[in-house]
Structure 1
Amino acid sequence: MKFVAVTSCPTGIAHTYMAAEALEQAAAAAGHEISVETQGAIGATPLDPALIAGADGVVFAADLEVKNKERFAGKPTVSVGVKRGVSDAARVLDEAVAAVEAFSPDVAVEVVPAQDVPVRREGRGSGIRRALMTGVSHMIPFVAAGGILIAIGFLIATVAWPSNGAIEVTGVVDGSDPTALMAWLSSDFSWLSAQSWAVLLFWVGKWSFAFLVPALSGYIAYGIADRPGIAPGFVGGFVAGLVGAGFLGGIVTGFLGGYLALWISRWKVPAGVRGIMPVVVIPLISVAVTSVATVLVIGPPMKWINDTLTVALTSLSGGSAILLGVILGLMQCFDLGGPVNKVAYVFATTGLVNAATAADAPAQIMAAVMAAGMVPPLAIALATVVRPKLWTKQERESGKSCWLLGASFISEGAIPFAASDPLRMIPSFMLGGAVAGGLVMAFGVGQLAPHGGIWVLPLIGHPLLFVVALVAGFAVSALAIIGVKEYSARKAAAAAEVVVDVVA
């Protein structure tokens, strides 16, 4: 059979392309043809309409809303999460074959269009998760760019102000006087001055960070109501930032704005009013209600929670800091890019807004999360090298790619191994992640770059201690993996001997 497929994941980095590769390999093994459109972080190259027209069926392996889904109307479709596309591609294709064989063109018009609005039809919990992951995936580029630029600004500052490495421009660095910043840029900026570049890059990073909460809120609302949700989501997120509600307030405004816009868009209105609904009525009412509710109702309690959390983080020291690092490490390695992993990551990245230097508690939390997230693929890579006989040839080959994936802070590289043996792999990953996260916090290692792995090592405070914590984490995890694999192998061998003896 001939199939077309679309894959996408919340971050648009690893799962998206791993699912595409897995589906292509499974199709080739089963004698089918498949063409995959990857809707990843760098965009997508749409499938040729001729391929879609000639396809027997469609596979969606996606955790986000598939873009331009109407292209596939009238085709038998199987829709699964992206993780199943990675770990269970052969069975997904079997389901697609069954869908094609059971498909009746007579009911196509009734069945397929219901998939055009999955957020309205799917379970409430799945819809909430999908919307939240949509917000997180669109927020990450702002965080990554802003965080790394801020870190580069501080790195240049260590050369520009060698006495203490601090950016020393009164009224400019702390943002207390925007007029002073603009005046400084127009009159004192020098193309050949390291101090000028340190300040400018620092502020470009801060400006990028300023979009963090609006982007999170705006794209949560977009995940719920499509384009009508963007305006109330972005404005609500912006207001949440102004009133100090932080990213928690942004999440609430995203859902409020999204569901409000969705509800208004369903109103039955006269034909003469329909034309102005999307450009006037929906944005006017949804923006007004969301913003007013944020200022008067949502903002105050969310600000209190945000302020309390900020005070608690900045006061962490000793055992409490280490315990937090352990907990974050466990979360990072629990589902490898899933919701629990993303909660820990968003908690760390949004906290960077309150970090001025790599020595601050939020920067240490970010370092702990990144170190822990690098552990699973690096542990797999090491285990396949140390005990190659415990792994198949294909697993050993996959283990080689895990070196680069782990070093780049792409936890998803370990997913095929976790999916094939979750009861042994995941606890082993979590053990190493807890060690790495706890050691980072114990060493007081911090970083202002929210992504990059070893490639942003120069931007990390105490980089050698970061490497020590990372190596300790993935070494412990690799030893645990080898231990449980060897125990299982010996147990299986012993069981086989018992069977032989009984037969004899």
Structure 2
Amino acid sequence: MELKDLFQSKVSVFQADLKTKEEVINFLVDKLSVEKMITNKKTFKDAILKRESEASTGMGDQIGIPHAINNVVKEPCIAFVSLKSPIDWQSLDNKPVDLIFMIATNDEKGEAHLAALADLSKYLMKPEIQTALRKAKSFKALQSAFENKVEIKKIEVKQGKYDVVGITACPTGIAHTYLAEEKLIEYSTELGLSVKIETQGRRGTENRLTQEEVDSAKVVILAHDKNIQGMSRFGGKQIIDTTTKDAIFNGKKLIEEFGKTDKTIIAKAYKSNDDEGSDDFSLKKFAQVKGNLLAGVSRMLPFVVAGGIILGIGFLIDFAAGNGNAGGDFGTISPVAGWFSAIGKTGIMLMVPILAGYIAYTIVGPQGLMPGFIAGVYADGLGGFAYSSKPGGWSGMWSILFPLNDKGETIIPMQSGFIGAMVGAYAAALIVFGLTLAFRRFKKSFHGIRDIVLIPVLSLLGISLTMFVLNIPLGYAMYGIQQFLKLLAEHNLLILLGAILGLMMCADMGGPINKIAYVTGTLSVSGGLGDNPLITVTMAAAMAAGMVPPIGIALCTLLFRNAWTTKEKDSAKANWLMGAFFISEGAIPFMVTDPKRIATSAMVGGTITGLMVGGFKITLGAPHGGIAVFPLLKSGLVDLTSGAAIGLGVGLYILSIIVGVTTMVLILGFWKTHDIKKGKFVIAN
């Protein structure tokens, strides 16, 4: 795709009589809406205004480039208007503008349009093109101005060593990133210096600087308005660390006076990490909570999706083989089903440790991966070495330190689930951070011992002690909740019990509260809550409510498409299968990124579903399986031994799930849409 192909005649206007910045933005957004290039005018305008509030899009030379990346954009394009009289745009050079290019993109059309947009800044910097654009009175003249390729003249590089190197990066990675790059190249060329500029824009890292190129450069300029990756390359070297605005307007002076003014500083000796880790080893990374959680979720997601789908296949095979009444062994009776179930369980089993490991990794780099992963293992009780229901020998070596019943079984649940994993990940990162600072004065000859032995060993001991302490209060709290639910079940308060279980199943979707509700359900199946035939309403309510969050998210991404990112819509497709087979964990990645809206809507939907299941007295004799065990459902509204009990049970159960899912979808969808329109929530694809 060429740059001129992003312009369209129906959204290109010449010599318009507009007086203010607000008028121009409204005018161009209206044009895009009328021509159906955007599906929601309010959402797109809010995104434009949000970008304007972050930093001026007036690039100088009387040119403004307002821009937004949003999924309401149907087709990437550039809306253009030239003005009769220049207007104030709070430009970087404080000059009014008369040429405005509104970039509308959605990141769904691949790299071609991003490459074209990157060229826009390079074209607009040329005086001859600016003149042609101001004279243009037709769409053909506009296109003609962008038909000729812009040649970038550079000084020849000698022996692969550049005189000037740098990195440019801006928040959206579209305009200022490439504008600063172009200006630094232009200034360097004017001074007779060879130059290479790395850009960290919307297309990722381009023209990446090697360590050798950085080491041999005479001038190093980092022009950025956001954190940049790969800072370890500059540790201990002279650099100018500044903004894109400074590079655009004062770049020549920065180059000429490099090393002579107080703008030249010595870069920190950053820890070497790849682009996913943090090169900025400081406490500031701990405050970037959402980014840290997203990093963990992105690594956890494949385990959830792949494991959940394959586990569902195991359930399907066992159901087809007639093993739907296998109780707790459902999914393992048929050898073929068991083969698939083992794969699925293994994938899901690693979900929580991976989440914790990569949260810690994002904060403090590779040294955080091991203690973070271990925190997740303790939080989820993985392996059974530390926690086990029946400790002894190599099993439950921590559990044995706590009260046991007369059968030698632990009576206190010690797992804190993914909530404990997230807290543990931060604890692990803090431990690594503290140890690194404590050992920072080690001589270089001892760095190997420090990094390979001391920090790993001490961080493992530190996070183990932390999680041992952290899981104690959570364990007692969960034990108390379980006993309360058992009391409700024993007194046949089925409607209340169903509502509470429904709420708990959706509170943390696979976390400790969810697990308490689920374990209570399984106790009813195994007889642990008494012999009353209606007691398995507990299991039915827990399973129905647990199906609500993943199915609700999947449906919401279809009915409220503009309220979700492209990545979320793709990931949610797997939730149909996971929800159908009662794998609540499919909702966790979504809840972590938007806990307020998703958790609240899911809890409302789950509570309604649980209440209906309790009210309809629906029983279930299997502890898992989702739709595969629906034939085992019965309703106590009629004689449980009759055939009508099964038919009524299945029908009312499906109705309960539909009502709960619908409730969740409507609350979540309208809530997100409302907040998007009000600017309280921004969808950034």
1:150 and 2:322 correspond? no
Residue of structure 1 aligned with 2:284, choices 109, 122, 137: 122
> What is the distance in 1 between the residues matched to 2:207 and 2:455?
23
Residue of structure 2 aligned with 1:437, choices 606, 612, 615: 606
- Aligned with 1:276: secondary structure? helix
> What is the distance in 1 between the residues matched to 2:660 and 2:291?
34
Residue of structure 1 aligned with 2:300, choices 134, 139, 147: 139
- 1:30-49 aligned within 5 A: 30=101
Question: Match for 2:362: what amino acid?
Answer: G
| Partner residue in 2 for 1:366 | 546
The question of whether the paired residues in 2 share the 8 Å contact of 1:325 and 1:368 is answered with: no
More strand by share: 2
Question: Match for 1:264: what amino acid?
Answer: L
> What is the distance in 2 between the residues matched to 1:271 and 1:474?
57
> What is the distance in 2 between the residues matched to 1:206 and 1:481?
33
> What is the distance in 1 between the residues matched to 2:547 and 2:471?
29
1:218 and 2:357 correspond? yes
| Partner residue in 2 for 1:59 | 171
The question of whether the paired residues in 1 share the 8 Å contact of 2:167 and 2:223 is answered with: no
Residue of structure 1 aligned with 2:450, choices 268, 277, 300: 277
Deviation of 1:111 after TM superposition, in Å, equals: 8.6
How many residues align? The count is 369
Summarize the Cα distance change of 1:348–1:161 in structure 2 as closer, same or farther, 3 Å threshold.
farther
Deviation of 1:283 after TM superposition, in Å, equals: 0.6
The question of whether the paired residues in 1 share the 8 Å contact of 2:314 and 2:340 is answered with: yes
Deviation of 1:265 after TM superposition, in Å, equals: 1.9
More helix by share: 1
Deviation by residue 1:456-497 (Cα, 9 ceiling, x = unmatched): 995685684334543465568889999x9xxxxxxxxxxxxx
Summarize the Cα distance change of 1:399–1:246 in structure 2 as closer, same or farther, 3 Å threshold.
closer
The question of whether the paired residues in 2 share the 8 Å contact of 1:367 and 1:440 is answered with: no
The question of whether the paired residues in 2 share the 8 Å contact of 1:237 and 1:253 is answered with: yes
The question of whether the paired residues in 2 share the 8 Å contact of 1:326 and 1:438 is answered with: yes
Summarize the Cα distance change of 1:255–1:162 in structure 2 as closer, same or farther, 3 Å threshold.
closer
| Partner residue in 1 for 2:432 | 261
**Cα RMSD (Å):** 6.0
Deviation of 1:227 after TM superposition, in Å, equals: 0.4
Question: Match for 1:441: what amino acid?
Answer: G
> What is the distance in 2 between the residues matched to 1:142 and 1:131?
18
Question: Match for 1:245: what amino acid?
Answer: Q
Summarize the Cα distance change of 1:245–1:352 in structure 2 as closer, same or farther, 3 Å threshold.
same
Residue of structure 1 aligned with 2:348, choices 209, 212, 217: 209
Question: Match for 2:223: what amino acid?
Answer: P
| Partner residue in 1 for 2:416 | 246
Deviation by residue 1:384-434 (Cα, 9 ceiling, x = unmatched): xxxxxxxxxxx89x999999897765999xx9xxxxxxxxxx99x999767
> What is the distance in 1 between the residues matched to 2:309 and 2:485?
22
> What is the distance in 2 between the residues matched to 1:113 and 1:69?
24
Deviation of 1:165 after TM superposition, in Å, equals: 4.7
Summarize the Cα distance change of 1:353–1:473 in structure 2 as closer, same or farther, 3 Å threshold.
closer
- Aligned with 2:288: secondary structure? helix
> What is the distance in 2 between the residues matched to 1:236 and 1:402?
27
- Aligned with 1:76: secondary structure? strand
The question of whether the paired residues in 1 share the 8 Å contact of 2:432 and 2:459 is answered with: yes
The question of whether the paired residues in 2 share the 8 Å contact of 1:448 and 1:459 is answered with: no
Deviation of 1:232 after TM superposition, in Å, equals: 1.5
> What is the distance in 2 between the residues matched to 1:328 and 1:236?
23
> What is the distance in 1 between the residues matched to 2:343 and 2:552?
28
- Aligned with 1:245: secondary structure? coil
Summarize the Cα distance change of 1:158–1:22 in structure 2 as closer, same or farther, 3 Å threshold.
closer
Summarize the Cα distance change of 1:436–1:156 in structure 2 as closer, same or farther, 3 Å threshold.
same
| Partner residue in 2 for 1:164 | 325
1:470 and 2:609 correspond? no
The question of whether the paired residues in 2 share the 8 Å contact of 1:436 and 1:470 is answered with: yes
Deviation by residue 1:166-204 (Cα, 9 ceiling, x = unmatched): 4659xx96xxxxxxxxxxxxxxxxxxxx71122233333
The question of whether the paired residues in 1 share the 8 Å contact of 2:504 and 2:514 is answered with: no
Deviation of 1:22 after TM superposition, in Å, equals: 7.9
Summarize the Cα distance change of 1:373–1:111 in structure 2 as closer, same or farther, 3 Å threshold.
farther
> What is the distance in 2 between the residues matched to 1:160 and 1:214?
34
1:294 and 2:467 correspond? yes
Normalising to structure 2: TM-score of the pair? 0.41
> What is the distance in 1 between the residues matched to 2:568 and 2:376?
37
| Partner residue in 1 for 2:184 | none
| Partner residue in 1 for 2:647 | none
> What is the distance in 2 between the residues matched to 1:217 and 1:478?
29
Summarize the Cα distance change of 1:360–1:129 in structure 2 as closer, same or farther, 3 Å threshold.
farther
Deviation of 1:281 after TM superposition, in Å, equals: 1.6
Deviation of 1:119 after TM superposition, in Å, equals: 6.5
Summarize the Cα distance change of 1:200–1:306 in structure 2 as closer, same or farther, 3 Å threshold.
farther
Summarize the Cα distance change of 1:130–1:74 in structure 2 as closer, same or farther, 3 Å threshold.
same
The question of whether the paired residues in 1 share the 8 Å contact of 2:318 and 2:334 is answered with: yes
- Aligned with 2:226: secondary structure? strand
Deviation of 1:59 after TM superposition, in Å, equals: 3.2
Deviation of 1:225 after TM superposition, in Å, equals: 1.4
The question of whether the paired residues in 2 share the 8 Å contact of 1:156 and 1:195 is answered with: yes
Deviation of 1:279 after TM superposition, in Å, equals: 1.5
By relative contact order (CA 8 Å, sep 6+), the higher-ranking structure is 1
- 1:398-437 aligned within 5 A: 436-437=605-606
Task: State percent identity of aligned pairs.
Answer: 17
Question: Match for 1:224: what amino acid?
Answer: I
Deviation by residue 1:283-334 (Cα, 9 ceiling, x = unmatched): 1111122224434x334333323444555678785235436756987x8xxx
1:318 and 2:480 correspond? no
Deviation of 1:28 after TM superposition, in Å, equals: 4.1
> What is the distance in 2 between the residues matched to 1:399 and 1:220?
21
Summarize the Cα distance change of 1:254–1:365 in structure 2 as closer, same or farther, 3 Å threshold.
farther
The question of whether the paired residues in 2 share the 8 Å contact of 1:159 and 1:165 is answered with: no
Deviation by residue 1:181-234 (Cα, 9 ceiling, x = unmatched): xxxxxxxxxxxxx71122233333333333233223322321221100111222
Summarize the Cα distance change of 1:133–1:362 in structure 2 as closer, same or farther, 3 Å threshold.
farther
| Partner residue in 2 for 1:76 | 223
**Structure 2 gap segments, 5+ residues each:** 4-67, 80-100, 110-117, 119-151, 153-164, 174-202, 210-219, 228-242, 271-276, 388-413, 526-537, 577-585, 591-595, 631-649, 675-685
Summarize the Cα distance change of 1:440–1:276 in structure 2 as closer, same or farther, 3 Å threshold.
same
Summarize the Cα distance change of 1:19–1:312 in structure 2 as closer, same or farther, 3 Å threshold.
farther
Residue of structure 1 aligned with 2:374, choices 224, 232, 235: 235
Question: Match for 1:138: what amino acid?
Answer: R
| Larger displacement relative to structure 2 (352-361 or 266-275) | 352-361
The question of whether the paired residues in 1 share the 8 Å contact of 2:356 and 2:421 is answered with: yes
The question of whether the paired residues in 1 share the 8 Å contact of 2:504 and 2:603 is answered with: yes
- Aligned with 1:59: secondary structure? coil
> What is the distance in 2 between the residues matched to 1:256 and 1:155?
40
> What is the distance in 1 between the residues matched to 2:376 and 2:567?
39
